[in-house]
Structure 1
Amino acid sequence: MRLRIFTEPQQGASYETLLTVAKAAEALAFDAFFRSDHFLQMGGVDGLPGPTDAWITLAGLARETERIRLGTLMTAATFRHPGPLAISVAQVDQMSGGRVEFGFGAGWFAEEHSAYGIPFPTSARERFDRYEEQLAVITGLWSTPPGESFTYEGRHYRLADAPALPKPAQSPRPPVLVGGTGPKRTPRLAAAYADEYNVPFTGVEDTAAAYERTREAVRAAGRTAPMVYSAAQVLCVGRDDAEVARRAAAIGREVEELRTNGLAGSPAEVVDKIGRFAEIGTEAVYLQVLDLSDLDHLELVASEVAPQLR
Structure 2
Amino acid sequence: MELRIFTEPQQGASYDDLLAVARTAEAAGYDAFFRSDHYLKMGDGDGLPGPTDAWITLAGLARDTSSIRLGTLMTAATFRHPGPLAISVAQVDRMSGGRVEFGLGAGWYEEEHTAYGLPFPSTGERFDRYAEQLEVITGLWRTPVGETYSFQGEHYRLTDSPALPKPAGRIPVLIGGTGPKRTPALAAKYADEFNLPFVDADKAVEQFGRVEAACAAIGRDPAEITRSAALVVCVGRDDAEVARRAAAIGREVDELRENGLAGTPAEVVDRLGTWRERTGITRAYLQVLDLADLDHVEFIAAEVAPALRG
Q: Which residue of 1 aligns with 2:4?
A: 4
Q: Which residue of 2 aligns with 1:101?
A: 101
Q: Which residue of 2 aligns with 1:219?
A: 216
TM-score scaled by length of structure 2: 0.98
Kindly provide the amino acid, as one letter, of the partner of residue 298 in structure 1. V
Q: 2: CA distance between counterparts of 1:272 and 1:145? A: 46
Q: Deviations over 1:157-182 (max 9, x none)?
A: 00000000000001xx3000000011
Return the offset for 1:283.
1.0
1:272 to 255, 270, 273: 270
Q: 2: CA distance between counterparts of 1:226 and 1:114? A: 38
Q: 2: CA distance between counterparts of 1:78 and 1:211? A: 25
Q: 2: CA distance between counterparts of 1:228 and 1:142? A: 21
Q: Which residue of 2 aligns with 1:292?
A: 291
Q: Deviations over 1:167-218 (max 9, x none)?
A: 0001xx3000000011111000000111100000011121111111101111
Q: Deviations over 1:81-127 (max 9, x none)?
A: 00000000000000000000000000000100111111111x10000
2:227 to 212, 229, 233: 229
Kindly provide the amino acid, as one letter, of the partner of residue 119 in structure 1. P
Q: Which residue of 1 aligns with 2:202?
A: 205
- Whether 2:87 is the aligned partner of 1:120: answer no
Q: 2: CA distance between counterparts of 1:218 and 1:245? A: 43
Q: 2: CA distance between counterparts of 1:188 and 1:256? A: 36
**2:270 counterpart SS class:** helix
Q: 2: CA distance between counterparts of 1:45 and 1:139? A: 38
Return the offset for 1:221.
1.2
What does residue range 73-112 of structure 1 map to in structure 2 within 5 Å? 73-112=73-112
Return the offset for 1:64.
0.8
Q: 1: CA distance between counterparts of 2:109 and 2:240? A: 35
Q: Which residue of 1 aligns with 2:241?
A: 243
What does residue range 151-230 of structure 1 map to in structure 2 within 5 Å? 151-170=150-169, 173-224=170-221, 226-230=224-228
Q: Deviations over 1:122-154 (max 9, x none)?
A: x10000000000000000000111111000000
Kindly provide the amino acid, as one letter, of the partner of residue 74 in structure 1. M
Q: Deviations over 1:217-249 (max 9, x none)?
A: 111111147111100000011111111111111
Q: Which runs of 4+ in 1 moved over 6 A?
A: none
Gaps of 5+ in 1: none
Q: Which residue of 2 aligns with 1:305?
A: 304
Q: 1: CA distance between counterparts of 2:207 and 2:236? A: 30
Q: Deviations over 1:251-279 (max 9, x none)?
A: 11110000000000111110011101211
Q: 1: CA distance between counterparts of 2:220 and 2:208? A: 15
Q: Which residue of 2 aligns with 1:29?
A: 29
Q: 2: CA distance between counterparts of 1:4 and 1:250? A: 21
Q: Tell me the C-alpha RMSD between the 2 structures.
A: 0.8
**2:224 counterpart SS class:** coil
Gaps of 5+ in 2: none
Q: Which residue of 1 aligns with 2:64?
A: 64
